[in-house]
Amino acid sequence: MKSIKSKIIIFAILATLIPSLGLGILSFQQNEVMISENVTRELRALANHASRELDLWTKDQIYIARELSTSKVLIEGLSLTDQSQKNKLLAQQKILEHYLKSVHKKLETVLELTVIDTEGEIVASNIASPTPVPLPQNWPESASIQGNVVIPPHWNTHYTTATLSISVPVLSIDDYILGALIVTFDLRNIQSSLKDSAKSPPGEVLLLDKDGDIMLASNILVPDADNPVSLDSKTLQRLQDNPGEFEIFQGLHLQKVIGLAYTSETPPITIIASRNYESIYAAWIQQRNLFIGLISAILLIVTTIAFRMGHAIVIPLQRLICATEKIVKGDLNVELTTTQRNEMGQLTLMFNQMTDKLRQNQADIDAASTAMKLKNQLLETLSITDSLTGLYNRNKLNLIINDQLARYARNKRPFAVLMIDVDYFKTLNDSLGHIAGDEILTTVAKKIYHCIRSVDFAARYGGDEFILILTETTVDEAVKTAERIRSHVASIYCTAIHETVNVTLSIGIIQSEPEDTSLTILLSRVDSALYEAKHAGRNQAYCMQPKPTAA
């Protein structure tokens, strides 16, 4: 009798402990994997949002610098190079300084405006002692190719903030380089945009310069230059070597965090998104402790019942063993019935509740897996699509052009490239408002899409510029498409202002040629064609005829 009870107790403990621990460990491992995947996805979204905001902000500042560089005051001031006109030169220099100071007062994001000549000497600035900005060694020879130069961001001790400097060449009426306008922007203006307070997932975004020093953070103030804050060099290297993959490391406040990094090329900044490790796994640890407590309680109950009931519980235990074996094999559709109202009946009821919970957890896991697949498909679509217009984005455009160049190299069938620019879009945007401006861009994109074939490609190149790739098309056929697009967008009804807006386009057209050995060369040629269309008075298409082939 005593031996039977001992065996029943041992059997009850093993029958309860082994499957419970096995399922518990499996469940916690799956939960840990899900947590890691969710955190990685949220951190990627957070870093991508910050990267996108930084890119848009940088493009806006480049646009501002370009607009300022076309000022008549700058061009006339840099055109005075004759030393015999020294008095006039000094007067013009004062005019330049006064102009720069007046512009500085109007632009909140600008800290410093400096004008230099082709020798790199400072001609005028809005401050008495401008900060020296290093330019490429072969400047200004390379300015005609590179255009604007983005100086790597760094911590500026004079302004006690992180700054970004952009150098834009100042061109004469005849397109000769007269000098450059160097505009220094305050990076703190983007701090509030690094995270969307309503939509961004929890976490912290850090911006690091090329030396790994933290310049800006989304949630905290960065110390001054006398006490720079940097991540451990090995940690930073791991993050940079594995972009988009999370690492566990020690954060700014010496806390354990999970983070990942992306590196932006323009400007050269490392973006790190991180979250506190304890806050992520707190619920998991609490659930683990609860599970251990629950298993302990069940073991105690089963042992007590087995000791008191003896032979009376052998048969019900056999039923429990059979049901447990089914669960171990993966069959969760187990339901035990009992007419007993004692402890064994209660244990059977708890066993059924446990299987219900397991089935519910399995259903939740299946639902989460399905949702994750749908989100991955959505992310894949968003990665190649411009969020405003619905056309292909810049990354997808680069892949399309490279593919077309490879096809052209194989079969020698030409394709046409159109670069489209909305004339005076900034004026429309400023006068009608950003909502109306976005609607105009969206409408133009739709009309462009409806004017091309299904085998052609349309992408938003940036701002108000679009690029079309017309496969197996010559420039003569491309001109017809360009004129059709211009006629379709000539009159756009804008619902934001309830008015019809007259929209004109400048279009540059080229045809692929053997010399187009890279994406850069092709885009440079079509950009030149667009420039000719603008230079000729806008609202027209300029076609760059292909070179005649040798007989």
Report, as an integer, the average pLDDT of 500-522.
92
State the pLDDT confidence band at 154, using cuts at 50, 70 and 90: confident
How many Cβ atoms are within 10 Å of 310's Cβ, its own excluded? 14
The predicted structure's pLDDT at residue 471: 94
pLDDT the model gives residue 190: 86
Give the model's confidence band at 551: pLDDT under 50 very low, under 70 low, under 90 confident, else very high.
Answer: very low
Q: What is the pLDDT of residues 364-404, one digit of tens each?
A: 888 888 888 888 787 777 788 988 888 999 999 999 999 99
The widest CA-to-CA distance across the chain, in whole angstroms, is: 123
**Least confident stretch, 157-161, 328-332, 455-459, 468-472:** 328-332
Maximum average pLDDT range among 165-174, 327-336, 340-349: 165-174
Decide which of 11 and 128 is more confident.
128
Give the count of domains, the chain. Answer: 4
Residue 11's domain spans which residues? 2-34+281-381
Cβ-Cβ contacts under 8 Å for 334 (sequence gap 6 or more): 323, 326, 327, 355
Claim to verify: residue 400 and residue 363 sit in the same structural domain: no
More confident residue, 219 or 215: 215
Q: Calculate the average pLDDT of the chain.
A: 82
Where is average pLDDT lowest: 37-41, 59-63, 174-178, 317-321? Answer: 317-321
pTM of the predicted model as reported, rounded to 2 decimal places: 0.49
- Read off the CATH number of the domain in which 207 is found: 3.30.450
Question: Does residue 240 share a domain with residue 373?
Answer: no
Residue 50 domain-assigned? no
pLDDT on residue 478: 92
Contact 301, 347 (CB under 8 A): yes
CATH number, domain at 137? 3.30.450.20
Question: Do residues 413 and 534 share a domain?
Answer: yes
Residue 434: HSE in the Cβ half-sphere, 13 Å Cα cutoff: 2
Strand order in the sheet with 505-511: 457-462, 465-470, 416-422, 505-511, 540-543
Pure H helices in 310-433? 314-328, 343-383, 394-411, 425-432
CA dihedral 280, 281, 287, 290 (to 10 degrees): -130
Cα separation, 222 vs 161, whole angstroms: 9
Q: Is residue 196 part of a domain?
A: yes
Q: Which residues contact 359 (CB under 8 A, 6 or more apart)?
A: 332, 333
Interhelix angle 519-535/394-411, nearest 10 degrees: 110
Has residue 171 got a pLDDT over 50?
yes
Q: How confident is the model at residue 83 (pLDDT cuts 50, 70, 90)?
A: very low
Is residue 120 within 8 Å of 135, Cβ to Cβ? yes
**CA nearest 97: which of 129, 54, 120, 61?**
129
| Residue where a domain terminates, one of 327, 351, 381 | 381
Question: Of the segments 7-11, 80-84, 513-517, which one has the largest average pLDDT value?
Answer: 513-517
Q: Do the Cβ atoms of 525 and 491 come closer than 8 Å?
A: no
CATH of the domain at 400: 3.30.70.270
Contact by Cβ (8 Å): 149, 194: no
Does 439 reside within a domain?
yes
The residue out of 347, 381, 415 marking a domain boundary is 381
pLDDT of 423 above 90: yes
Task: Name the pairing type of β-strands 247-250 and 457-462.
Answer: unpaired
291 and 245 both lie in a single domain = no
2 has pLDDT over 80:
no
Q: Which residues of 195-233 are buried (b: 16+ CB within 10 A; e: fewer)?
A: beeeebbebbbbbbbeebbbbbbbeeebeeeeeeeebee
The answer to whether position 401 is within a domain reads yes
Per DSSP, what are the bridge partners of residue 177? Answer: 171
Residue 533: CB atoms within 10 Å: 25
426 and 535 in a single domain? The answer is yes
**For residue 274, what pLDDT band results from cuts at 50, 70 and 90?**
confident
The Cα 164–Cα 187 span in angstroms is: 7
CA atoms within 13 A on the CB side of 66: 11
pLDDT band at 442 (very low <50, low <70, confident <90, very high): very high
- Of the candidates 550, 511, 509, the one whose C-alpha atom is nearest the C-alpha of residue 413 is 511
pLDDT tens track for 19-58: 877 787 888 788 878 888 888 888 888 888 888 888 888 8
Judgement on whether residues 290 and 266 belong to the same structural domain of the protein = no
pLDDT at 446 over 80: yes
pLDDT above 80: residue 549: no
Question: 161 with 64, same domain?
Answer: yes
Do 174 and 238 fall into the same domain?
A: no
Same domain flag for 296 and 268: no
Which residue, 236, 255, 279, sits at the end of a domain?
A: 279
More confident residue, 419 or 313: 419
How many other C-beta atoms are found inside a 10 Å radius of the C-beta of residue 365? 14
DSSP state of 223: P
Are both 371 and 303 inside the same structural domain?
yes
Tokens 């900060």 — which residue? Answer: 131
Give me the percent of the chain exceeding a pLDDT of 90: 23
